[in-house]
Structure formats: C-alpha cells, structure tokens
C-alpha cells in the first residue's frame, strides 16, 4: 500500500497549475449556452470541463483477502507419561474414539509387580493394626516365638559362615603371596629372601625383598587370629571382618615392588619374564576381588540382626498389648502403605494412553514394539464439531482487521474474527489471527484444509462524515488553507463545495463534506471560479 501523506498548500497549488496547463494543452473546447436574463436568450462562450460522478468515488469499506488452515476448536496431542515399550496400539488413523478410550498401552510387567508388592505391604500393615486393636491370640504368639528362634538360628549360622569365609580369604591371600611369587624369590619364606632375577631398579628390588619378609610375618599373625576365632564371640567375628580389608591391602606394596623390578630385568628369558608378570597380575586380581566377599558376609550378618530386632519388637508388642501411641503409629504406617499403593496404581495407569475427548484419530505416531520416552507424542485426536481457521496477515492488512469482523470462509461458509495477535511475529513480520466458523456451507471443511478467507471491511460513513476518494487535481486549496471542489449546479454553474482532506494515497485524497448533495464534480479544478457557467462533458 502506498505510503499515506498529507498534501501541503504548495503541492495543491502546483497540482491546480498543472491542471490548468493540461487543460490548455488539451485545447478545451468552447461551447454555447443560453443565458436567460430579462427574458432574452444570450449565447456565450463556455469552457468545457470533464466531470466525475460523485457516486463512483464514494469510499467503500476496506476488506482483506487471505488464506488459512482449518483447525479443530477442540483437539489434543496425546503424549506418553511413562517410558517403555509399546505393547499395543488399539486405534488407527480416521477411527472415531470416545472420551476415556485407551489408544496405546505400554509393556508394564515391572510396574504391575510394584502394584502387587504395594498391595501386599498394605495388607501386612493393616493386619498388624487389626491385631493391635483386638489383641493377639495365643497361637499367633507361638508362631512369632518360633519365627524368632529360626531367625536366631540363622544368625548363628551366619557367624559360623563368616569365620569360614575369613579362613577362605586368608587361604587365597596366602596362595597369592606364596605360590604366585615363589619363582621370583630364593629362600622365599625365610628371614632372608632374595630376588631370583637381576633388576636395574635397585630400590624396587630392595622394597620387594623387604615386603616379602614382612608378608611372612603378617600371614603368620593373621592365621593365628583366624584359628582363634570363636563364632559365638560375635564381637570378635565382626572385628575380624572389619579388619580384613586393611589386612588385604597390606600385601599390595609387595606386588607393586615386584612389578617395578620386572620392568627393568637383566638377562631374564622372555618366556620366564612373561610368566612372572602374569603371576603378579593374577595375584593382584585375587587381592582386589576379596573385599566383595567380606562385604557380603557383613551384610548377611547385619540383615539378620535387623530382622531379629524387628521380630523381638513385634513379639514384645504382642505379649504386652498395644498402647494408644503404638496404635496411632501403626495407623500412620498403614496410611503410608496405602499412599504407596495409590502411587503404584497411578504409575500403572500411566502405562495406558487414553483420549480425554471424543473425536477422530488424526495421527498415530507409534507402533507395537517401539521404545518411547516419557513425553513423546503418540497420537492426535480432533473434535471437528467446532472449527476455526488460523491465518497470518501482513502489517498493512492488520489495521483493517479487528475481533468481531465478519468473514466469508471458503466458498460459502461464514465466520467471525475471534482472536488477533497483539504483536507481529519477529521472524515472519506477520500477525496470527483466528476465525471461528459460525455457519457451515454446502462445501464441507476438514481440519488441515487450506481455505480462502474474505474479511469484511469497515462500514462506510454516511451523512456529513461520508467520504470520497477523488483525484488531487479536483481539489482547490485556497489561500486561507481551506479546501474545496467544484460541483455542477442545476444551471451548469460551478458551485464551490467546502471539503476536509484526509488520507492521501498516490494521486488521490479522501475528502469529506456535502458532496452527496451533487451528482457530479469537476475533475480538474485548475483556475475555475465559483459561479462560472461551464459545459460539462
């Protein structure tokens, strides 16, 4: 659209001068008219002027034509709430679905197991609460006492197993020190061992000999401690387990020194050197695997002790009867278990993707066996009972669009502008609008379809505020700054009609005034004067 501007007095004067010149160049014709004065008929030379029909230049409303995409008013893109493997897809493209219908189901054996575990936990805690409230029967007490004895027996066995495990660990360490290093030392298990090979790394060789001598003493002390362990002395067994990791670590420097010495050997056959390096590596692997065995024994003992403590508390409670505080505490435990069950069931329900609305399946983006993540889109449902058209308009057209404006949608549907974006998109330089379809025509509309839109323009003002878009050459700007055009009176005389100039576009300007009272105006104001009789083309 041409940039709008206001016309200055100088510009209009120039236009008027140009009009006069043009008229002269065109060789305006001279006509004859009859002037009735005092009953006589007088012929006079008249200027011929080109005229414009006022009605043809009335300002009409400015409408906007564009295209947009049909969208459902009610649609939803469904996403998975859980990660997992798709077990089943129960709909296909174009299917009608009802609100709440399952569309996609994920494999959920682990989640189902969590629900079962939560149900069992709630039942157990509820049974304890019921028992507290009604008192414990004699046979129940007997069962709990037997349970305690079995737990204590299991704990005794765990301590015996711990002593046996400590003995096995010692044997493995002793084997790593003696057998794996035997070929690398002379007099290896005496007070004066020496390396069986020569090495340029003198300090490492000395360290290896010293560590071998110290290893003998450490093994002897450790063996004596284990042989003296009594499984019944539980504190001593626990202390031995706690000390085992540090005892194992004491032998690491021996193999570090041997490894450094072997890096710089003298006159050692390659096969022998390879064998010795492998022995050092195997010994290290053995030492580093043993702490896991120690931790397993400690955990076994600890778990059994915790279990005995629990059973003892439960038995004491059964024997003494529950206090009000204990009942309240158990009720809280039951409530927590119930909350855990609800949470597990919520997660289980999330394995199924359901449609929250009734409508039609517009897309399905997953299939059976697909691995999907939480939040991944799986389907889209639309309800095409209500439709809208989304479109984008330029800045120039935006001023002619407002909410509530009537719209022709496609060939024969009707709508109304429902939303207009408050700002232009920074990238496209356009604004988004939404047109709600209020009445369908004979031609059906479908979501995703591109349709033409014709948005109605402003209503044309009437009366004194009526407007006409006329050529600038038809406007006379007076010395006082006012504007006027010349209309043709009933007797062919020029009538000066005052007008107010508004928007100027190109070679035209919008004027308002009383032009509706006349049928025609002069196209070129030029040097015409009001009252002059002219001959109109």
pLDDT score of 136: 60
pLDDT score of 87: 93
Three-state SS across 31-69? EEEEEEECCEEEEEEEEEECEEEHHHHECCCCCEEEEEE
pLDDT of 46 > 50? The answer is yes
Q: What percent of the chain has pLDDT over 90?
A: 54
pLDDT score of 27: 38
Work out the average pLDDT over 130-148.
79
Structure tokens at 457: 């323009």
Inter-residue contact 286 to 179 (CB < 8 Å): no
Span of 51-55, 401-405, 461-465 with lowest mean pLDDT: 461-465
43 — phi, psi (to 5°)? -90, 140
Residue pLDDT, tens place only, 185-222: 998 778 899 999 999 999 999 999 999 999 999 999 99
**What confidence category does residue 13 fall into, taking pLDDT thresholds of 50, 70 and 90?**
very low
pLDDT score of 386: 84
Angle subtended at Cα 333 by Cα 318 and Cα 349, rounded to the nearest 5 degrees: 135
> Could you give the 3-state DSSP secondary structure of residue 105?
strand
- Alpha-carbon gap, residue 466 to 73, rounded angstroms: 40
CA of 337: how far to CAs of 26, 332, 424, in Å?
103, 9, 54
367 — phi, psi (to 5°)? -135, 170
- Alpha-carbon gap, residue 285 to 115, rounded angstroms: 42
Q: What percent of the chain has pLDDT over 70?
A: 88
Q: In sequence order, what are the beta bridge partners of 185? A: 195
Closest CA to 326 of 482, 129, 484: 129
Between 266 and 137, name the one with better pLDDT.
Answer: 266
User: Which H or E run includes 378?
Assistant: strand 377-393
Cβ-based burial of 426 (10 A; exposed 0-12, middle 13-18, buried ≥19): exposed
- Residue 224: half-sphere exposure toward Cβ, Cα within 13 Å: 6
pLDDT of 310 > 60? The answer is yes
pLDDT of 37 > 50? The answer is no
pLDDT score of 489: 85
Work out the average pLDDT over 407-434.
91
Closest CA to 334 of 154, 127, 140: 127
pTM, 2 dp: 0.39
pLDDT score of 166: 95
Work out the average pLDDT over 370-385.
89
pLDDT score of 154: 95
Q: What is the mean pLDDT of the chain?
A: 85
Inter-residue contact 410 to 443 (CB < 8 Å): yes
pLDDT score of 7: 42
pLDDT of 441 > 60? The answer is yes
**What confidence category does residue 396 fall into, taking pLDDT thresholds of 50, 70 and 90?**
confident
Residue pLDDT, tens place only, 246-296: 999 999 999 999 999 999 999 899 999 999 999 999 999 999 999 999 999
pLDDT score of 507: 85
242 — phi, psi (to 5°)? -65, -35
83 Cβ contact partners less than 8 Å away, ≥ 6 residues apart: 371, 372, 373, 374
Going 374 to 376 to 379 to 384, the CA torsion angle's sign is positive
Residue pLDDT, tens place only, 86-110: 999 999 998 999 999 999 999 988 8
Structure tokens at 65: 């034509």
- Alpha-carbon gap, residue 190 to 420, rounded angstroms: 97
The whole-angstrom distance between residue 441's C-alpha and the CA centroid of its chain comes to: 38
> Could you give the 3-state DSSP secondary structure of residue 95?
coil
pLDDT score of 458: 61
- Residue 467: half-sphere exposure toward Cβ, Cα within 13 Å: 17
Span of 269-273, 398-402, 433-437 with lowest mean pLDDT: 398-402
Residue pLDDT, tens place only, 454-473: 887 665 555 555 678 889 99
Structure tokens at 399: 């001023």
483 — phi, psi (to 5°)? -125, 155
pLDDT score of 137: 66
Closest CA to 317 of 447, 165, 463, 129: 129
């Amino acid at each position: 659209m041409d940039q709008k501007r206001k016309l200055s007095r100088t510009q209009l004067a120039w236009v008027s001068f140009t009009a006069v010149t043009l008229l002269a160049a065109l060789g305006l014709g001279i006509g004859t008219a009859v002037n009735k004065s005092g009953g006589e008929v007088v012929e006079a030379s008249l200027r011929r002027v080109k005229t414009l029909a006022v009605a043809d230049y009335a300002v009409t409303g400015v409408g906007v034509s564009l295209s947009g995409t049909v969208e459902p008013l009610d649609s939803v893109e469904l996403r998975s709430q859980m990660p997992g493997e798709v077990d089943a897809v129960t709909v296909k493209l174009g299917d009608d679905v009802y609100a709440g219908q399952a569309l996609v189901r994920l494999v959920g054996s682990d989640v189902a197991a969590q629900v079962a575990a939560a149900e069992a936990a709630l039942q157990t805690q509820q049974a304890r609460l019921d028992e507290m409230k009604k008192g414990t029967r004699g046979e129940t007490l007997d069962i709990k006492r037997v349970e305690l004895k079995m737990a204590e027996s299991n704990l005794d066995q765990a301590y015996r197993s711990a002593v046996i495990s400590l003995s096995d660990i010692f044997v493995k360490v002793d084997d790593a020190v003696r057998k794996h290093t035997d070929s690398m030392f002379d007099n290896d298990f005496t007070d004066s061992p020496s390396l069986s090979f020569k090495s340029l790394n003198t300090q490492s060789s000395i360290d290896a000999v010293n560590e071998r001598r110290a290893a003998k003493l450490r093994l002897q002390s450790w063996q004596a401690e284990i042989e003296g362990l009594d499984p019944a002395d539980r504190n001593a067994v626990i202390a031995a387990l706690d000390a085992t990791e540090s005892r194992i670590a004491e032998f690491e420097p021996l193999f570090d020194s041997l490894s450094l010495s072997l890096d710089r050997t003298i006159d050692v056959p390659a096969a022998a050197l390879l064998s010795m390096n492998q022995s050092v590596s195997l010994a290290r692997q053995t030492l580093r695997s043993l702490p896991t065995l120690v931790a397993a024994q400690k955990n076994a003992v600890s778990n059994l002790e915790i279990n005995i403590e629990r059973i003892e508390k439960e038995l004491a409670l059964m024997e003494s009867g529950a206090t009000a505080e204990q009942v309240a505490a158990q009720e809280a435990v039951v409530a927590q278990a119930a909350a855990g069950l609800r949470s597990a069931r919520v997660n289980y329900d999330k394995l199924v993707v359901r449609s929250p609305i009734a409508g039609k399946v517009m897309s399905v983006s997953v299939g059976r066996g697909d691995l999907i993540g939480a939040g991944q889109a799986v389907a889209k449902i639309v309800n095409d009972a209500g439709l809208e058209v989304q479109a984008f308009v330029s800045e120039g057209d935006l001023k002619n669009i407002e909410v509530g404006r009537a719209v022709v949608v496609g060939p024969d549907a009707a709508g109304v502008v429902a939303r207009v974006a408050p700002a232009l998109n920074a990238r496209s330089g356009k604004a988004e609008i939404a047109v709600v379809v209020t009445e369908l025509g004979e031609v059906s509309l479908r979501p995703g379809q591109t349709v033409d839109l014709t948005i109605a323009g402003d209503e044309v003002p009437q009366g004194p505020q009526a407007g006409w878009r006329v050529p600038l050459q038809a406007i006379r700007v007076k010395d006082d700054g006012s504007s006027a055009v010349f209309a043709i009176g009933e007797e062919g005389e020029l009538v000066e009609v005052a007008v107010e100039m508004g928007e100027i576009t190109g070679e035209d300007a919008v004027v308002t005034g009383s032009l509706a009272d006349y049928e025609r105006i002069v196209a070129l104001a030029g040097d015409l004067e009001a009252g002059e009789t002219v001959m109109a083309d």
